[in-house]
Amino acid sequence: MPGGMSLEGLTVEDCVADGVMVDCSQEASKDNQYLVPLQKLLDWEKEHGRIPDNAAVVFNFDWSKKFVRPKEYTGSKDIGDLFSFKFPAVSEEAGMWLREERNIKMIATDTLTPDPLAGYKKQPIHMKYLKEKRLILENLKATSRQIIRPDPARPDSIRNGHPV
């Protein structure tokens, strides 16, 4: 990505963050081009508490199970045409809100990219995040296993010693 960082410029500290998982698997199972709206994040915060600054936000679309079937994973019969790929992604509004209002350190997904590709020619999350030394993690496996960290300020976020 022009103007983005390279791996050689990263430190270990750049790669470590508290994380939260936003489960979008139900929406993605119904719509292979689901775009996470800002409202999904606001609703997540109402249930789990504020996304912390410098966090890693992991989006679980339950998409990694399709990885071994490239046409299903990419949502395209033509895996040579990047901009024909159809898969769940993060809306530009939600991605920029995480950057501007929550100052996240990383955005992660179990799809090809947090940016939608089919019908889009720009990748706003990539363009903004990488220029600012924010990490983008893609093609992750088992994102549903990510732990939602309990908020010690909210006793209701812990039940029987576990996050709820």
Per-residue pLDDT at 116 exceeds 90: yes
Q: In the prediction, which pLDDT does 27 show?
A: 98
- Say what the pTM is: 0.85
- All domains in the chain, ordered by first residue: 16-148 (3.50.30.50)
State how beta strands 162-163 and 158-159 pair. antiparallel
Question: What pLDDT, in 10s, does the model give residues 12-63?
Answer: 888 888 889 999 999 999 999 999 999 999 999 999 899 999 999 999 999 9
Residue pLDDT, tens place only, 131-159 = 888 999 999 998 887 555 555 665 555 44
Average pLDDT score over the chain: 86
Measured in whole angstroms, the distance separating CA 59 from the mean position of its chain's CA atoms is 4
Binning pLDDT at 50, 70 and 90, where does residue 160 land?
very low
